Amino acid sequence: MSATKYIFVTGGVASSLGKGVISSSLGKLLQARGFNITIQKFDPYINIDPGTLNPYEHGECYVTDDGKETDLDLGHYERFTGIRTTAYSNYTTGRIYQSVIDKERRGDYLGKTIQVIPHITDEIKRSMLFQGKRSHFDFVITEIGGTVGDIESQPFLEAIRQLKWELGNDALCVHLTYVPYLAAAGELKTKPTQHSVKELQSLGIQPDVLVLRTEHELNNSLRRKVANFCNVAPTAVFQSKDQPTIYEVPLRMQEQGLDAEILRQFGMPIGETPGLGPWRSFLERRHKATEELCIALVGKYDLQDAYKSILESLSQAGTYNDRKIKTRFVNSEKLTPDNIAKELKGTDGMVICPGFGQRGIEGKIIAARYGRENDIPTFGICLGMQMMVIEFARNVLGLEDANSVEMNPATKHNVIDLMECQKNVTNMGGTMRLGGYPCILREGSRVRAIYAQEEIRERHRHRYEFNNEYINRYEAAGMQCTGVNPDTKLVEIVEIPDLNWYIGTQFHPEYSSTVLKPHPLFLDFIKAAIKYHTK
Ligand code: GLN
């Protein structure tokens, strides 16, 4: 077995250039050559994990199957490659410091002054190598959040500098930069890239491969110029031009030979270029799917990244149903019984989104009611499911003040209650019910038919639950609890079988939908929306 190779992906010039997509694409291409790969992310901010961050600050919080709240880029890693990331796939500065400080208190460093170098950098290095040591990977791709030059990135870059030195031929650095187009001059500018590489070099890191993000085609002379000024081989400069979908990026990288160049630099045999058959078929189908279907996203965060995995799951399911998915954000804070018909006009189904806290929940309840009364395909996820449950209690069971104790701790009808295991929780970070749990699907139910299996496993992120004291009343009135955790009896799924498609899940199916394995619930939801559309 040959030694694990480490690929570090850094970014310069600007944030949001798509390091996550480049890392995922590279992972995909190496995997297609038969290599066992994993991808991890190191984020320089101080929160221990993004679980306590507002989605406006950092986009969606992605949850791994083993129950870690992580950066949304891990969602890309899973969607592109089908790998399962873990608690060891995402570290932050806070997590690194916490571990060093715990060790200091335990006395692991007795007698020593604890410093950024070497203690923090050693801890970063240890964490960067951890997954490669725990199981065998041919390649470990490590993405570094933020941009080169940020104060908080420095210990991470110093760790990479040292690792590149220690690992020698088993490590290399891919640097992603931006080449702006100055319309007035009619020119593409390489100076920001040169500066960004200089910045890296001043920290002792020579990038081995450059990926230039651009809105315009980069010609060979520009690539040669960049290679020349930045000390990289001319064969090691790639362009990442804007694509109609991020799922095109692996193909564009393969055409230019990014994976082959990496193998060449590692001194590994290059071999045949993999055909990427299933991936290409997915893209072909996606391009052919021109007929549009519009799905309303009822939520409170007017920001694409806040519902990233839901958007991707819908769009993947659209492709497999030969539809192009348009989403319409419907701000639940502004929904009223009077404007809902107008807000949803022209949409073919709605997702009632996850969330926390009071803000915007009455709008979600109005949406749940409108969906139920008008038999619109409606998919409630986590808080969305809880709002379906509250709506049903208020308007069908006649429990007027039914609520979640999250919103009203004194409610008489606590149809959504705090989970027993949450009652003594005082710390907010990392203490929800997190990650994958089993769920048994009731025979004869819609969801059982959709999944075509009895036991499933789905990921969670919540503190509140369906209150089982009310189960009988719900079932008698037509809302069925068709998915239940076999150990704790927590209700995981509710559905109204009399309606076309009205399903709420306490879990988050969106975390496990991938390009080549779209999630059955999203596939079926889109089918129902198509039927509704053509009616
Ligand atoms: N706020 C709800 C809870 O904690 C729902 C969480 C969510 O939507 N992820 O139970």
Q: Name the helix (H) or strand (E) containing 84.
A: none
Among candidate residues 61, 173, 294, 382, the one labeled active-site is 382
For the chain, which residues score pLDDT lower than 70?
Answer: 1
Give catalytic status of residue 382 as yes or no: yes
The phi and psi torsions of 211 (rounded to 5 degrees) equal -120, 120
Please give the distance of CA 429 from its chain centroid, rounded to a whole number. 19
Q: Name the helix (H) or strand (E) containing 502.
A: strand 502-505
Show the tokens assigned to 107. Answer: 């006395």
Show the tokens assigned to 442. Answer: 């009731």
Sort 99 into a burial class: Cβ within 10 Å, 0-12 / 13-18 / 19+: middle
CA-angle at 132, arms to 128 and 135, nearest 5°: 140
Instruction: Kindly list the distances between the CA atom of residue 428 and the CA atoms of 51, 53, 148, 424, 432, in Å, as whole numbers in the listed order.
Output: 9, 11, 31, 11, 8
Pairing type for strands 37-43 and 378-381 reads: unpaired
Instruction: Kindly list the distances between the CA atom of residue 383 and the CA atoms of 299, 380, 390, in Å, as whole numbers in the listed order.
Output: 10, 7, 10
Task: Give residue 223 CA to ligand 1 midpoint distance, Å.
Answer: 48
Residue 176 confidence (pLDDT): 97
Pairing type for strands 378-381 and 502-505 reads: parallel
Sort 487 into a burial class: Cβ within 10 Å, 0-12 / 13-18 / 19+: exposed
Q: Which atom of ligand 1 is nearest to the CA of 406?
A: 1
Show the tokens assigned to 120. Answer: 């923090």
Pairing type for strands 62-63 and 171-178 reads: unpaired
What is the pTM for the complete model shown?
0.95
The residue assigned the tokens 């990977």 is: 137
Show the tokens assigned to 480. Answer: 């069925």
What does the alpha-carbon distance between residue 178 and residue 12 come to, in Å, rounded to a whole number? 7
Task: Give residue 339 CA to ligand 1 midpoint distance, Å.
Answer: 26
What does the alpha-carbon distance between residue 48 and residue 45 come to, in Å, rounded to a whole number? 8
Q: Name the helix (H) or strand (E) containing 378.
A: strand 378-381
Among candidate residues 76, 413, 462, 508, the one labeled active-site is 508
* 182: Cβ contacts below 8 Å, ≥ 6 apart: 188, 189
**Strand, helix or coil at 419?**
coil
Give catalytic status of residue 508 as yes or no: yes
Is any atom of ligand 1 closer than 6 Å to the C-beta of 282? Answer: no
Residue 428 confidence (pLDDT): 86
Residue 29 confidence (pLDDT): 98
The residue assigned the tokens 């055909």 is: 275
Among candidate residues 143, 406, 458, 510, the one labeled active-site is 510
String of DSSP letters for 169-210: GGEEEEEEEE--EETTTTEE--HHHHHHHHHHHHTT---SEE
In this structure, which residue's CA is closest to atom 3 in ligand 1? 462
Sort 244 into a burial class: Cβ within 10 Å, 0-12 / 13-18 / 19+: exposed
Is any atom of ligand 1 closer than 6 Å to the C-beta of 49? Answer: no
In this structure, which residue's CA is closest to atom 1 in ligand 1? 356
CA-angle at 162, arms to 158 and 168, nearest 5°: 140
Q: Which atom of ligand 1 is nearest to the CA of 382?
A: 8
Is any atom of ligand 1 closer than 6 Å to the C-beta of 355? Answer: yes
Segments of 69-112 assigned E as strands: 69-70, 90-92
Q: To test the ligand 1 pocket, which listed residue (406, 434, 490, 506) has its Cβ within 8 A of the most ligand atoms?
A: 406
Q: Which atom of ligand 1 is nearest to the CA of 416?
A: 10
* 66: Cβ contacts below 8 Å, ≥ 6 apart: 86, 87, 435, 436
* 481: Cβ contacts below 8 Å, ≥ 6 apart: 442, 466, 471, 474, 475, 491, 493, 494
Task: Give residue 463 CA to ligand 1 midpoint distance, Å.
Answer: 6
What does the alpha-carbon distance between residue 375 and residue 329 come to, in Å, rounded to a whole number? 20
Radius of gyration of the chain measured on its C-alpha atoms: 25
Is residue 64 within 8 Å of 70, Cβ to Cβ?
yes
Q: Name the helix (H) or strand (E) containing 123.
A: helix 121-134
**Strand, helix or coil at 55?**
helix
Other residues' Cβ atoms within 10 Å of the Cβ of residue 242: 10
What does the alpha-carbon distance between residue 133 and residue 124 come to, in Å, rounded to a whole number? 14
Longest CA–CA span in the chain (Å) reads 76
Beta bridge partners of 115: none
Task: Give residue 462 CA to ligand 1 midpoint distance, Å.
Answer: 4
What does the alpha-carbon distance between residue 125 and residue 507 come to, in Å, rounded to a whole number? 34
Residue type, 216: H
Residue type, 246: I
* CA dihedral (294, 297, 303, 305) positive or negative: negative
Residue 55 confidence (pLDDT): 84
Is residue 388 within 8 Å of 378, Cβ to Cβ?
yes
Q: To test the ligand 1 pocket, which listed residue (462, 491, 506) has its Cβ within 8 A of the most ligand atoms?
A: 462
What does the alpha-carbon distance between residue 418 and residue 404 come to, in Å, rounded to a whole number? 8
